[in-house]
Amino acid sequence: MKLKSIQNNYLSLLILIIIISLIIGCTEQKKLTTVNPDESIDNKIVQVVNNATPLVEQTTKAGAVTIDNGSSPSENDSKIADISTKQVTAQTDAALPTPSTHKTSCISQTTDTEHMDVFDSHAHITSKVSASQIILEMDKAGVSMTNLYGDDSNTLGAVSQYPGRFITFVDPSDSPQPSTWLTQGQAFVTSAEARLKTGKYYGIGEANLRYYGSHTVPIPPPDIYVVPDNPLWLQLVDLSAQYHVPISFHFVPDDPVANAAFEKMLSHNKDATLIWAHLGFNNMPLNSTTLNDFLLRYPHLYLDTAGIQGMFDPPGSQDIQKFNWDRLMTNGLLNKDWKQFFETWNSRILVASDAGGGQNGLQRWLNYESNTADDAPPNAIGHWRSLTSNLDANAARNILSSNSRVLFLKEQKPPYTYLVLSDDQCYSISVSSASSVSALTFNQGTKAITFTVADSTATAGSAVITIPTALVKGKFTASVDGKNVQINEKSNSADTIVTLEYAGGIRTVVLSVSPTITTSS
């Protein structure tokens, strides 16, 4: 009887312990569910994986994920075990440039120019439009910066009122009469240099060297004509070289004598940076073959696209009279010839609107992003975004923004980055070069990398190509236009870096690889 009583007491005690444990467990569970998720290590790790925060570091050599949250390795191991392997793999792959599982980005034929930065390299400000109005239009159009041409009384105020949104050039004024700057003679050159020394001005221009006020076919004589190899103008070209700033000009190449003087000016100082406004052919049919020839011969020559949307073909041509803008396109995109031209020379072309210029300058600003005014082409910036959307993303980026930032703000030119597909994985190949680089392709079978470089013929170019070792392993060789060239090759666990040089002109570069053969001892 006594033994049975003891057993009953033990049983009661055991039941009591179980009840207390359950109560404590419920209390702790309640506390856990009310904890701030950010304070829970489990939730921290899940959040890190989902959001790719700096707490996750990818070790590329071993392909392992390391959690650095202050916990011991054993604690981290237990936490990682609670996370789906698929979730970790998907997120870390997305964070890495190579390889990627997003095959669609490798084969996409369109470029998202709608969300690219735009630097308008050529616009005008006058007393008819305020800086605040221009900023409003820029913001609507997604334009980060604009180079404003105009009188100092308008440009410097805008630059001061909106720092980081505007730059300006020394103005060779045509007011109160054409070529006022020319009649001022040496005094203008002295003034221009003094202003450049202040650091407030990023270039000289836009100077009207040969200008027709009418939008129709040019009929000589022009409204303004300054002989391009005029000694005074050549002094300004020399200032461009001396102060490492561009000089821009409007020149219609419709006369053989004027064209000869123009070429003398282009040859005058190879250290100057020259911007030929309006793709050169204001009031004339655009001609990519002629422009290609100019860019091949003059390495310091650049083109801006200002006002192309408002320039007509000459009447009497076989085609119906139309805008030069239409001449560039087929179904709203650059046609085959102009697409090739823009991609081949993507480092030498600056997008520009010419807003504020001409007699309908205010209307051009009103139609910068919309179709508010009747007396100006609609949606200038939007048209350029759309027109360039069938370019390679690197070419579109350079033309829409990077070239202006390099020329005006002296920013470093970004590398060309290409996504290529191999064995259902997407890899990134980069090319760093002062040349215009385009048309990079990767042959999955031979592992050959092919691309085009473009420079003026009197120069030499170089390129540094970075190739993931996960994409291609082996010894590289290179050819330029089918002829073998020497390379400098360096490799690490992640990449192979190939450096090569080539003569100027439009060249085809091919990198080939011989597989690494491992022999057993």
Question: How far, in Å, CA of 464 to CA of 438, rounded?
Answer: 14
pTM: 0.79
Model confidence pLDDT, tens digit, residues 464-520: 999 999 999 999 999 999 999 999 999 999 999 999 999 999 999 999 998 765 555
Chain CA centroid to CA 162, Å? 23
Model confidence pLDDT, tens digit, residues 12-38: 666 666 666 665 554 444 443 333 433
Across all residues in the chain, what is the average pLDDT?
82
Is residue 373 classed as helix, strand or coil in its secondary structure? coil
Side-chain-side CA neighbours of 160 within 13 Å: the count stands at 6
Question: How far, in Å, CA of 313 to CA of 284, rounded?
Answer: 6
Model confidence pLDDT, tens digit, residues 122-140: 999 999 999 999 999 999 9
Q: What pLDDT shows up at residue 478?
A: 98
Average pLDDT over every residue of 441-454: 97
Q: Higher confidence at residue 424 or residue 109? A: 424
Q: What pLDDT shows up at residue 324?
A: 75
Chain CA centroid to CA 437, Å? 13
Q: What pLDDT shows up at residue 38?
A: 38
Reply yes or no on whether the pLDDT at 79 is more than 70. Answer: no
- 């440009």: which residue's tokens? 155
Average pLDDT over every residue of 236-249: 98
Contacts for 249 with CB less than 8 Å, ≥ 6 apart: 205, 206, 207, 208, 209, 228, 274, 275, 276, 277
Average pLDDT over every residue of 251-279: 97
Contact by Cβ (8 Å): 57, 68: yes
Q: What pLDDT shows up at residue 284?
A: 82
Contact by Cβ (8 Å): 218, 283: yes
Q: What pLDDT shows up at residue 102?
A: 55
Two tokens, residue 206: 């836009």
Task: Give the torsion sign (CA, 139, 141, 143, 149).
Answer: negative
Model confidence pLDDT, tens digit, residues 373-403: 888 888 999 999 999 999 999 999 999 999 9
- Across 19-23, 53-57, 113-117, 428-432, least confident range: 53-57
Which spans in 310-359 are helix H?
324-328, 336-344
Two tokens, residue 185: 């003679």
Question: How far, in Å, CA of 397 to CA of 421, rounded?
Answer: 22
Model confidence pLDDT, tens digit, residues 161-201: 999 999 999 999 998 888 999 999 999 999 999 999 999 99
- Exposed, middle or buried by CB within 10 Å (0-12, 13-18, 19+), for 373? middle
Strand extents, DSSP E, 301-342: 301-304, 329-330, 333-334
Model confidence pLDDT, tens digit, residues 324-335: 777 888 888 999
- DSSP conformational letter for 71: -
Model confidence pLDDT, tens digit, residues 196-239: 999 999 999 999 999 988 766 778 999 999 999 999 999 999 99
Question: How far, in Å, CA of 249 to CA of 204, rounded?
Answer: 9
The letter for the amino acid at 420 is V
Model confidence pLDDT, tens digit, residues 176-185: 888 999 999 9
90: confidence class by pLDDT, cuts 50, 70, 90? very low
